[in-house]
Structure formats: C-alpha cells, structure tokens
Chains A and B, each alone.
Chain A
Amino acid sequence: MSDITLNDDQRMLVDSARRYIERGYTAAQRAQAMAREDGCLPQHWSAFAEMGWLAMAVPESQDGLSASTLDLCLLAEEQGRGLINEPWLASGVLATDLMARAAAPAVQDAWLPALAQGARRIAFVPRQAALVLRADANAPRLDGRSGLVVGAAGADAWLVEAHRPDGGTALLLAQADPSAIRVEAVTCYDGRSAARLHFVDAPVQLLAEGDAALLAVQAAERRAGVVHAAELVGSIQRAFDITLDYAKTRRQFGRSIGDNQVVQHRLVDLLVEVEETRALVRAAARTLDDDSAAPSLAARRAAAAVAQAAGAARHAWKECVQLHGAIGMTQEYELGQYVRRLAAAATLFGGEGKHLDTLAALALDDASLAREAAATLA
C-alpha cells in the first residue's frame, strides 16, 4: 500500500535507491562484497557516498544532510529489499549518529566530513563486562574483549562503550592500531561481516562519561534500532513477493498452489504482518522525529517496532520456506539469501526479547516510566 504521507523528496529517495540497487548491486556484486573479510566492496562504499547515503546521519553543521529517521528508514527498506551487504547501518547510521551526539566539536570536525565522504568507516562497540577503561587522566587506555559486532571489521575507528574503574560508563574513540587492537573478523551466515575486538593497553580518546554517555548511546541505539527494523521490513517484503509469485506459478495437481485456500490464507497472514510492521516502523520513526511527541510514546513505538520486525522476520522466513517446498531449502535459489538474512538479522539490536522487556517495563513498571521521562528531559 502506498504511503500517501510521503513527500516528493522521500519518493525520489526511494526511487533512486531502488534504481541503483537493481542496476548496480547484482547478485554477483553482492557475492564480491561477501567474499571480503570486511564485507564491504570499496566501489559500493564510494557509490553510497556519492548518493549521499553516508551523509544522512551527519548534521548539516558538518556538511551533512541531517536526515530524518523516516528518511533513514525509507532507504533502509530499499537496502533490505536488495540485501545490501555493506555496513551502512553500522557505520553510516548508528556510529555516525552516536558520534554526532556525543563527541566534542573538534572530534566531529576530524571525523564526520570524512565519514560522509566515505573516506572512513567507524562502528559502535556496545558494553561488555570485559571492556574496562584504565583511569589515567592524561592517557586513557582500554583493555578487554568485545562481543561480536556486525560491521566492526575494516573500520578505521570504533566507538566503544566501556566500564570505568568506578563502575560508571565511558564512551571512547579507539583508532585502528594493530599493535594494540586485534580484529578477529568473522563472516556471518547471511554474508555480513562481524568482528570481535581485542584491546590490549589500547590508547583511546574519551568522548563522554556517565549519564551523558548513556543517554547518547540510548538515543543512537533507539534510532538505529528503528532503522534496522525498516531494513527487516524491506527484506521481508521481498521474500514475500518471491513467495507470492511462486505460489501463482508453481503448479501441482493441475492448478497453482496458490489456488489452495490454505496457502492463500497463510500468504494473507504474511501480507498483513508486513503491512502492519511497516506502518509501525514508520510511525516509530515519525515519533522519534517529532520533538513535541510524548517521550513515552516514542519509547514504546521504537521498542515495539524492533520487537514486531524481529518476530515478523522469523515468521516470514519460515513460512516462505514452507510455502515453497523443497526449493525453498536451497542456497542457490534467490529466496535462500533472504532466509539467511532474515534469520540472522532478527537477532540483532537485542532481538525480540530485549524489546519486549522494554515494552513490559514501560507499561507495567511505574519507575521505568518515570526514568524515561527524566532521561528525555535531561
């Protein structure tokens, strides 16, 4: 269903992204990206920069586009539809946005224009118990090992959420340095690249501490989570389209399998789920973009969007396999790539479980509502 509330610029963004991906991002080109340890083909990354995709989360004051969350979601849907392998979401949205929120002007000057131009890539490394900052006012150092972070391989620097010795939070910038940071790259089953980072007495720059760091991380993760949900919507939609087309053309017992009511009703359930999820994701994006919206509504919608998208992704890939029959189990058939992506991506950003916990806390714990309100006012 067309969204009549999109403006002309937004329609153009969607159209141009789809045109580029259909022409410039073929299965063969995607395979090239997947074959790389960092999952990122330089020519694609340059193209992303030329199209402005890497400047979207950069503020206008840094020659960026200050794009709305809704705009990011519209592009993410197209990327999900085309199974883009490059870490646009990890670098161009989450980490770039976090840097714009948390870093001092000098750091922003040094990094954001280069990120927008595609000259550099960064990634956000969320908190792990083992990531501990060594307190030394003049020369802070980081020790420890990160969890598995999608999009972290091949980055020029990482934004690391670490523990201070006193237990508080610190947001750090760690630049690539083979002598102090070992990057253990892993290729995930959906083709994306991820990495574990091992920091040994690594020199880092302190960007923010305490509540300032926590709030910046929370805001950036919330926004990126909604964009991630939009990317899932795009992949679900394409998997559904492939399956619907198959149901109309595959013939058994002298008729299309889509002539069977049991198949029709299951396809309808998928249709409704993808439409509802898209509506929710866009509503969440608009609420995040609307400064006058109630903070509790923004928090609820954002959490619901990720939970709903993850659940819909899991339901969709399994149904699409079943409705195809044996061909849906093969890796070479187009659907197989979507199955792998949906299964993998549904677990990211905390998956369904974390966001259901958030929703429950927002609805059922009075203290949580109060905290949310206070955090937003701060």
Chain B
Amino acid sequence: MPDPTQDLEPFRQALRDFLRQHLPTDIRDSVRRGQPLSRERTIAWNGILAAHGYLVPHWPKEWGGLGWTVNQQLAFDEEMCTHDAPELNAITLDMIGPVLVRYGSDAQRQRFLPAIASGQQWWCQGYSEPNAGSDLASLATRAERRGDHYVVTGSKIWTSYAQYADWMFCLVRTDTQVKQQAGISFLLIDMKSPGITVRPIVGIHGWVVFNEVFLDNVEVPVDNLVGEENQGWTIAKSLLEFERLKLARVGENKRRRARCRTVAMERQVNGRRIAEHEWFRTRFAQLDARLLALEANAERFIARAQAGERIGADVSMLKLRGSQLIQLWEELTVDALGEDALPLDAQRLEGGGDAPEGLAAIAGTASSRRFLSRGYTIAGGSSEIQHNILARQVLGL
C-alpha cells in the first residue's frame, strides 16, 4: 500500500495555503508561545474557519460538513497543529454537535446545529461530579420532572471552560430506583438559567481551565432532553469512532515536538546548544521513536476505518499512548529550558502582553503547559481505565 500521506499532498497544500492567508498573526503567535486563547479570539478564529467550511468538516453534509474521508479529516487536524493554528473546542464541535446529529430532535438540531457550525456558540460538558470521576455512572445530580420542566439540583466539577460556555450538556439522574446506568438522562442547559453558579478553579498551571458548576433548582424545559429519558448513558458513550482515532493526538504531539526542538536549538548551556547535549539527544530520540510508532499505529486504525471496518476496543491504545507522549514532550521541554522555565511570567497568563519570539516565548508558558498536560491521562477515561478496557476486551482477562 502506498503511503497514504502521498495522495493527500495537494489537499494538505491547499490547507497550508489557507492557513498562511487566513490565520491571524496574533493568534498564531499565541499558539506558538503555548498561551491559552481568550474566548473572543477563539470565537474569531472559529468564524474564519466556518466561513471556509473548515470548522465542522467531519459533520454530515446536510449540517455543513464536507464529506471528507477519515484520512482527510486527520490530515486536516495535523496541518492545523503543525502550522500553529489553535486546538479547536472538541467538546463543542466533536461531541455535542455529532450527538445532536445522531440523537437530537428535529427542533433541537434546527436550533443548535447552525449556531454551533457558525462557531459562535460555546458548550461545556457537565459530566464529572465531586463523587463521580472515573466512576461516572454514580453521578448524583438530580433532575425531577415537573410539568414541562425538569428541575435540576446538584453540582458538576472539572467542567472545562464553563466560564466561557453558553450552554452545557449535562448528565443527570432521572431515576434512582434502577441500575445506575439506566437512570441517567442527557439534558441541554442554558448557562444563563437562574440557579447556576460557576466557580472557577485555578489549576496547578495557574490557568483557569476547570470550574465547579452548581445547579440549584435550575429549570430546564423538557424540550431540552436529548433522546429518551434515561437513555443518557448510551448517548454519552456513543463518542464517534472518528473521535477515538483523534485521541492518538498525533498532530498535537508533533506540535509539542516542534516546540521542544526549538528550545533545544536555541538555548545554550556552557556555550553549547541543548541539542548538542548527550542527555537531551537520547531522550529526544526516544520520544521521536515513540511518536513515529504512535503515528504508524494510528495509521493502521485509520486504514481500518477508511475501509469501513468497525474500530474495536483496541483503539484505546491510541488514547493511552498519545496522552502519555504529550506529557513526555512537555516534560522534556521544561527540562531543556532549565531555570529559564522557572519565572512566573505574566505572559503565561491568558491575554497577558506580547511575548517575544522563539525561546523566551516558549519559556513563559512551558511550566504551565507541563502541568496542564497531566490532565491528558486523567480526562476522557484515565490511563488506568484504558488499561482495564484493553485487559478485559482485548486480552480477555
């Protein structure tokens, strides 16, 4: 089989041309520095992508998708990553959008999908609770039906970017008498509803990514129930197969490799660039080998998906390795920066000033990014959960 990347070259070239022309310089520089983007800049970039059809290319054509192949979709992600375009909001574009396409009522689709596809609406995911992390099915936030409303009370936590969100899709308990999984429903909640309080949680990285969301007798119209009552668990588990392939995060890993390499080529210790130090060379090469292995493994799954075969439980290995590798690149970058990564620099905080180019720019955010990356092996099914899945479903243990 010829290398699948070969045939995609013109496609990739067109994407690169697009990025050169349309990716705003200030946004590109922020991404290069590793800064988080503000809501305004994210929405602005979403709008540019949407105008060219690139915001939701993976959706069905009927709702604004482009009918791309799996290969094209992943090549798109990679080009975006390697050319300093921001990471897109997967919660909004890859999760709730496709869920509504599949399970939403006609009215829900008409109401939300165009708004999401325009890039102007921000969603957050109300899944985890203080006492329901990996064991998500034990969630306790209650929704009681009263006439044409549900009344929701409880709290959600680790809700990423809830401070920016217009809407939250939320798992709530609608039946306490049945098996845990069978009593959960999937609700769409307007973040402006009375009774909602968002408490930001400052992370070890110094950024506000997480929030706690308190729901105190929040009234949610019954029209905002997705699917049937008590069908929520099935819907939550129905993450698209394409989505599972993306969890290899090959592009995100390449982006981090590039940052790490920039540091090594520019920073000098004792008159020698870090790239010339033996300890660094060995570690970089080890990660490079792992990245090439991850990419080759992902390509096998892509070939399967491309041929229309079902993706099995073994796809969990992509999430497992991709997330570990991101942490290792961040770790190596911080080690390569040494003391230069120590200052608590204003630029690592959102919206703070104009960071300089190159080394100093990366140094300003590297420590925070390293801390942030610890979340990759915790969120979306921790590494331990992925191990359990592989042990049970692939090894038959």
Contact = CB atoms under 8 A, between A and B. Distances in A.
Interface string B307-331: 1010010100100110000000000
A287 to B, nearest CB: 6
- The majority secondary structure among interface residues of chain A is helix
A359 interface: yes
Interface in B258-297: 261, 264-265, 275-276, 281-282, 284-286, 288-290, 292-297
B144 interface: no
B309 A4 contact: yes
A268 B395 contact: yes
Contact of A265 (B1, B6, B264, B391): B391
B297 A275 contact: yes
8 contacts: A267-B395, A280-B292, A303-B289, A356-B281, A356-B285, A356-B289, A364-B276, A365-B275
Nearest to B298: A279
Given A300-B292, A301-B292, A356-B285, A267 B397 contact: yes
B387 interface: yes
Contact of A363 (B276, B288, B293): B288
B132 interface: no
Interface residues of A, number: 46
B275 A364 contact: yes
B300 interface: yes
Contacts of A358: 285
Contacts of A356: 281-282, 285-286, 289
A49 B178 CA distance: 67
Interface string A277-295: 1011011101100101100
A301 B293 CA distance: 9
Interface in A276-329: 276-277, 279-280, 282-284, 286-287, 290, 292-293, 300-301, 303-304, 307-308, 311
A29 interface: no
B282 A277 contact: no
Given A248-B397, A271-B394, A308-B293, 10 more contacts: A4-B303, A264-B391, A265-B384, A280-B297, A290-B2, A290-B3, A292-B2, A308-B289, A357-B285, A364-B284
A54 interface: no
A138 interface: no
Contact of A264 (B265, B285, B320, B388): B388
B304 interface: yes
A265 B288 CA distance: 24
> Which interface residue of B300, B320, B390 has the most chain A CB atoms within 10 A?
B300
A1 interface: yes
Contacts of A1: 300, 312, 314
Interface in A228-246: 244
B299 interface: yes
A295 to B, nearest CB: 13
A247 interface: yes
Interface of A: 1, 3-5, 244, 247-248, 258-259, 261, 264-265, 267-269, 271-272, 275-277, 279-280, 282-284, 286-287, 290, 292-293, 300-301, 303-304, 307-308, 311, 355-360, 363-365
B293 A290 contact: no
A34 B35 CA distance: 61
B299 to A, nearest CB: 7
Contacts of B265: 364
Contacts of A290: 2-3, 6
A286 B321 CA distance: 23
Contacts of B284: 359-360, 363-364
Nearest to A365: B275
A290 B5 CA distance: 12
Ranked nearest first, the 6 interchain pairs of A and B with the lowest CB-CB distance are A283-B296, A264-B391, A360-B281, A359-B285, A356-B285, A304-B289
Contacts of B1: 5, 286
A358 B321 CA distance: 23
Contacts of B303: 4-5
Contacts of A283: 292, 295-296, 299
A264 B304 contact: no
A247 B282 contact: no
A248 B391 CA distance: 12
A5 to B, nearest CB: 4
> Which interface residue of B295, B387, B388 has the most chain A CB atoms within 10 A?
B387
B71 to A, nearest CB: 13
B321 A363 contact: no
Contacts of B3: 286-287, 290, 292-293
Contacts of A357: 281, 285
Contacts of A259: 397
Contact of B296 (A272, A279, A359): A279
Contacts of A304: 288-289, 292-293
Nearest to B315: A1
Contact of A261 (B2, B289, B388): B388
A280 B296 contact: yes
Nearest to B304: A4
A173 to B, nearest CB: 35
B297 A276 contact: yes
A303 B275 CA distance: 19
